[in-house]
Homo-oligomer: A and B are copies of this chain.
């Protein structure tokens, strides 16, 4: 294995597309996944940790990456609504899983985030593919976190695109708008990968079947957990397929995906209780004059990628460990 070029700490609510993102990252020799923290969202944080440990087993990486369980409730303490209708009752498409070989760490997710950042200041990049509760708690634990972390890439929000949970809000932000607002307003370099980009990166049933037909156990596992996810997305796209939400954010975080259109702008989250609750208000007004960067803004919103990223995922997983 070549020396890793990028060190990632991943915070996720390991449902189907988080698992695909993890498999994609774990099969990349240029990436060191130095820890995985879990949060409520698609399922509970505890089940997300169990699923994460199962994914590490599938990837042949048992015991090599520390996993910590994070928040089971929102930043303000509200009970969550899980996304099991999207991700299946166990978060991995209802696929029967063996008990994982590994166990979670005893520290909490936010503690692991802060500890990792302090140990390797300026070296660790965060990838968040779930609600932003753990990151918000970590910011309260260590206010200097933005100076210790190299950058944050987030799958979440909707800039110009419609929301998914509501007409205005995307699931990860909708699950905990107050946490998202805390994270977006912290002084770190943030890259947001919203539905504008991810809904344009669609995996076809043909591509899923090519994963299923692979000799790679990683690819076959991916095809199996994607089956239920494809069912959920069939009425949304009008055909069997799914968007590559979290994996796209992983590709952006590692630099493998280069945005075709992006703007660096101020972002505010609507935290009121009206119909726009959880909306990510990205100030795109400069687009009419071709502005790429709003003065003072530190959040880059990815608006469009190639539309061919599913090919990269399939190639990576088919060629991954066990192939």
Residues of A whose CB lies within 8 Å of any CB of B are 160-164, 167-168, 199, 235-238, 266, 268-276, 279, 281-285, 287-290
Is the beta-carbon distance between A238 and B289 smaller than 8 angstroms?
A: yes
Which residues of B are found within 8 Å of A281, using beta-carbon distances? 167-168, 275-276, 279
Q: When A235-B289, A276-B274 are in contact, do A268 and B167 touch as well, CB less than 8 Å?
A: yes
Copies of this chain, complex-wide, total 2
Contacts of A161 in B (CB 8 A): 160
Residue of B whose beta carbon sits closest to that of A233: B288
Give the CA-CA distance A289 to B236 in the complex, in Å. Answer: 6
Q: Which residue of B lies closest to A291 (CB)?
A: B238
Complex interface: chain B residues within 8 A of A288 (CB): 199, 236-238
| Contact assessment for B162 and A287 in the assembled complex, using a CB-CB cutoff below 8 Å | yes
Known: A268-B275, A274-B276. A285 touches B164 (CB 8 A): yes
Separation of A162 and B294 alpha carbons in the complex (Å): 14
* Max chain B C-beta neighbours (<10 A), residue from A236, A269, A272, A276: A276
Interface centre among A162, A284, A288 (most CB of B within 10 A): A288
Closest 9 CB pairs of A and B: A272-B272, A238-B289, A276-B276, A272-B274, A167-B283, A270-B276, A268-B275, A162-B284, A162-B285
- A238's partner among B167, B276, B290 (CB-CB below 8 A) is B290
Q: What would be 8 A-B contacts, judged by CB atoms less than 8 Å apart?
A: A160-B160, A167-B283, A168-B270, A168-B279, A236-B285, A237-B288, A238-B289, A270-B274
Q: Which residue of B lies closest to A268 (CB)?
A: B275
Assembled-state Cα–Cα distance A74/B199 (Å) = 39
A237: which B residues are within 8 A, CB to CB?
A: 288-289
Q: A268 to B169, alpha carbons, bound, how many Å? A: 13
Q: Nearest Cβ distance between residue A204 and chain B, in whole angstroms?
A: 14
Q: Which residue of B lies closest to A274 (CB)?
A: B272
A289 proximity list for chain B (CB < 8 A): 235-238
